[in-house]
Chains A and B, each alone.
Chain A
Amino acid sequence: MISFENVNKWYGPELQVLNDVTAEVNKGEVVVLCGPSGSGKTTLIRTINRLEPINSGKITVNGQETHAKSANVNRLRREIGFVFQQFNLFPHMSVMDNITLAPRKLKGMSRPEAEEKALKLLARVGLEEKAGAYPSQLSGGQSQRVAIARSLAMDPPIILFDEPTSALDPEMVGEVLAVIKGLAHTGITMMCVTHEMGFARDVADRVWFLDKGVLLEDAKPGEFFSNPKHPRAQRFLADLRH
C-alpha cells in the first residue's frame, strides 16, 4: 500500500533527516513509528502525502509514485487522511462545517448527504452533540476526535497520525487512543507516530523504530518490546521504563 525505497532527505550536508529508508506498509496494516525526538518520525510520515519534499528515493502509495513530477498531488491527498498533533481544526467553522467541507467541495457531495455522514462519524467518535459547536468550545481530546472524524469524512483508504495525543492533557489521551483503536483493523491502512508504547503494543501490527533518520527496527510489537535487536532501541525502551 505504501512503500519507501531508499528515501533520503537532508538539509545541507550536515543534517540528514531521513537516511536511506526502505520499508513497506501492507493494506489494512497498523504501523506505529517510534523513536527519540528529532529522529525523523514526523518527517517520514509527512513525506507520504508530500507535505515534506524528499531529496532522493521513491515513495509509492497504491502503486503511484507520489514524489514524481507528474503526480497529481491534490488527487493523491484525497486518498490519505492526515491527523495533526495540533488538530488544526478550522476555527471559523462549526464542527459540522469542519467535517463536511472537504466532501462537499472535493467530492461534490450535497450538504444534506454530507451532514448525515458527518453525524454518523461524530457518533463514531462519541461527539454527536457537538455538531453545532465551534472548535474554541472543545477540549483538546474532543478537538482531536473531531479532527479524526473530519479525516474519515473523505473515506480515505490510508490515514496518517502525527503524534495525535502529544498535545493533549494526560486525562484526554485515553479517549483519543480509544477512537484510533476502534479504527484499526477495519480495512483502513494506518501509520501512527506516537510515544504511547502501550498503544503500540496493543494495536500495532508492526513497530518501526527510527534514530537519526535511519529505520533501525521493523518488527512485530511482541518482538520489538521483549527483544529489540538494535542497541539504540534497547536503550530507548529502557529509558521509557524509567
Chain B
Amino acid sequence: MGYEFDFSAVLTDQYIGWLLSGIRITLMLSAGAWLLSFAVGTALAVLRATNFKPAVWLVATFVEIHQNIPLLVQVLFWYFAMPEILPEAWRDWLNQNNSEFILAMIAIAMCHAAYISEALRSGLRAVPVTQYEAGRSFGFSYLQTMSYIVVPQALRLSIPPLVNHSLLLFKNTSIAMAIGVHELTYQTRQIDSDTFRTFEIFLVATILYILMSFVIMAAGNLAERRFGMGAR
C-alpha cells in the first residue's frame, strides 16, 4: 500500500465551494422530486383505488413502465427525447430555465411516484373496508371518506416504506449527473478530474451522502413516532 492520502488537495476553498453548491443542487433536486413524486403517487394510488377499469389499467401501466426501465434510461429519455415532442414554446422555456434540472427532477419524480403509489396502495388495502363503510354511513361522499378517513390511515400505515422510498429517491438524484446537472456526484467527478485524488474526494462524497441519509432516516423515525398508527 504505497498510496498516500492527501485530503488537503481536495478540501481547498474552491473545491469546498463546489461541494457545497453540489449539496445545494442535490437537496433542491431531492426536495422538488420528492414533493412531485408524492403528489403524483398519491393521485395514482387514489385513482387506482376507485376500481374504475380504465383508471386501474392506466395506473398499472404507469407503474409497470416506471418500475421496469432503468432510471438512467428514464432520465436520458426525458432529457433527450421528451423535448422533441413538446410544443416549441415549452422547449424554449425549458432551455432558458435550466432544462436539465427540471427534466431530471420530473424523470426522478415520475419513477418514484410509481413506487410511492404502490406503497400507498398496500397502505390503502390495509385499511379495513369497514372504515370506508363507517365513513359512508355518515353521509360522506366517496372523496370525503377517502380524504378524511381512509387516506390518512393509509399514509400512516405506509410510513416505513415511504421513508425507504424517500431515501432511495435522494440517492438516485446522483443519476442526474448523466445529463449535466451540477449536483454532488457531478461536482465530485469534477474535483476528481481536477486533482486525481479519486479516493479522497469519493470518500468525502460518501460521508456527505451518508450524513444526509441519516437526516432523512431520523426525520422518518420522527414521523413514524409522531404519526404512525402505533403513536399516541
Q: A80-106 CB contact bits vs B (8 Å, 1 = yes)?
A: 101010101011100000000110011
Question: Are B139's CB and A136's CB within 8 A?
Answer: no
Indicate if A75 sits at the interface (CB-CB under 8 A): yes
Nearest chain A CB to B99's CB is how many angstroms away?
42
Question: Are A77's CB and B137's CB within 8 A?
Answer: yes
A102: chain B residues within 8 A (beta carbon): 138-140
Which single member of B136, B148, B153, B156 contacts A101 (CB below 8 Å)? Answer: B148
Nearest chain B CB to A116's CB is how many angstroms away?
20
Q: Give complex CA distance A106, B153 in Å.
A: 20
Residue ID in chain A nearest B147 by CB atoms: A105
Indicate if A109 sits at the interface (CB-CB under 8 A): no
Q: Give complex CA distance A102, B138 in Å.
A: 7
Q: Mark out the residues of chain B between 196 and 231 whose CB falls within 8 Å of any chain A CB in the assembled complex.
A: 229
Indicate if A78 sits at the interface (CB-CB under 8 A): yes
Interface residues on chain B, size class:
10 to 19
Indicate if B95 sits at the interface (CB-CB under 8 A): no
Q: A55-86 CB contact bits vs B (8 Å, 1 = yes)?
A: 00000000000000000001111101010101
A106: chain B residues within 8 A (beta carbon): 138-140
Which single member of A75, A77, A82, A92 contacts B156 (CB below 8 Å)? Answer: A92
B interface majority secondary structure: helix
Q: Mark out the residues of chain A between 93 and 149 whose CB falls within 8 Å of any chain B CB in the assembled complex.
A: 101-102, 105-106, 134, 136-137
Question: Are B133's CB and A86's CB within 8 A?
Answer: no
Q: B147-173 CB contact bits vs A (8 Å, 1 = yes)?
A: 011001100100000000000000000
Residue ID in chain B nearest A80 by CB atoms: B137
Q: B123-153 CB contact bits vs A (8 Å, 1 = yes)?
A: 0000000110110111111001000110011
B153: chain A residues within 8 A (beta carbon): 90-92
Which single member of A77, A90, A92, A137 contacts B139 (CB below 8 Å)? Answer: A77
Residue ID in chain A nearest B137 by CB atoms: A82
A23: chain B residues within 8 A (beta carbon): none
Question: Are B232's CB and A90's CB within 8 A?
Answer: no
Nearest chain A CB to B145's CB is how many angstroms away?
10
Question: Are A105's CB and B131's CB within 8 A?
Answer: no
Indicate if A154 sits at the interface (CB-CB under 8 A): yes
Question: Are A76's CB and B152's CB within 8 A?
Answer: no
Residue ID in chain B nearest A106 by CB atoms: B139
Indicate if A178 sits at the interface (CB-CB under 8 A): no
B141: chain A residues within 8 A (beta carbon): 74
Q: A51-B137, A84-B134 are in contact. Are A105 and B148 (CB under 8 A)?
A: yes
Residue ID in chain A nearest B152 by CB atoms: A92
Nearest chain B CB to A191's CB is how many angstroms away?
14
10 closest cross-chain pairs (CB), A and B: A88-B134, A78-B139, A77-B139, A82-B137, A102-B138, A74-B139, A88-B130, A134-B232, A92-B153, A92-B152
* Chain B residues engaging chain A, CB cutoff 8 angstroms: 130-131, 133-134, 136-141, 144, 148-149, 152-153, 156, 229, 232
| CB<8 Å pairs between A and B, sample of 19 | A49-B137, A51-B133, A51-B136, A51-B137, A74-B139, A77-B136, A77-B137, A77-B138, A78-B139, A82-B137, A84-B133, A88-B131, A88-B134, A90-B134, A90-B153, A101-B138, A102-B139, A102-B140, A154-B138
* Chain A residues engaging chain B, CB cutoff 8 angstroms: 49, 51, 74-78, 80, 82, 84, 86, 88, 90-92, 101-102, 105-106, 134, 136-137, 154
